[in-house]
Structure 1
Amino acid sequence: MERVNGNPPDVAALAEFAATRSLTVSVAEASRVVGVGTSTAYEAIKRGDFPFQTIKVGGKVRVVTASIVRVLSGEPDPTPPAAALQAA
């Protein structure tokens, strides 16, 4: 597995994260996972360089939990970041 910020991924923590969340999480929660502010996350989503897959649901942006787990565990995420939002 790939290192995240110089540290190996905590597989148990990622599994717990996935098991205790719904299929999508808010941008605020996803931004806390990567240690950036919510405004920074929304700006990255607009630019198309947020590292996780996003979708738009009822006018709100949601982040796909499985995408967070894949990216942080070092697995390739088959969906380009923010692709769904850009298409909306």
Structure 2
Amino acid sequence: MRLPERATMTVTETARILGIHRDTAYDAVRRGDLPAIRVGRAILVPTALLAAMLGLPAPGAGDVAPP
């Protein structure tokens, strides 16, 4: 499974990745089962938090060079 390199994803994108229906994903956000932030009317899922929930490395985590 590969998550987008962006900082956030839409709930619809998250549902596709998880293999669940979009409405189920929105219900999970309402219950607090999926991490989400609201920006205006948009509901966005932070990619790093979703990766952590799934036990995956954060996208781009290995791309940062040490100082």
Letter in 2 for 1:40: T
1:37 equivalent in alignment to 2:21: yes
Distance 2:22 2:32 in 1: 15
Distance 1:22 1:47 in 2: 24
User: Superposition RMSD on alpha carbons, in Å?
Assistant: 1.9
Q: Give 1:48's aligned residue.
A: 32
Question: Which consecutive unaligned segments of at least 5 residues does structure 2 have?
Answer: 58-67
Offset of residue 74 of structure 1: 6.4
Calculate the TM-score normalised by the size of structure 2: 0.70
Identity within the alignment, %: 33
> How many residues were matched structurally?
57
Q: Deviations over 1:43-83 (max 9, x none)?
A: 12112223xx21001211000000111111168xxxxxxxx
SS in 2 for 1:22: coil
Runs of 4+ in 1 over 4 A off after TM superposition: none
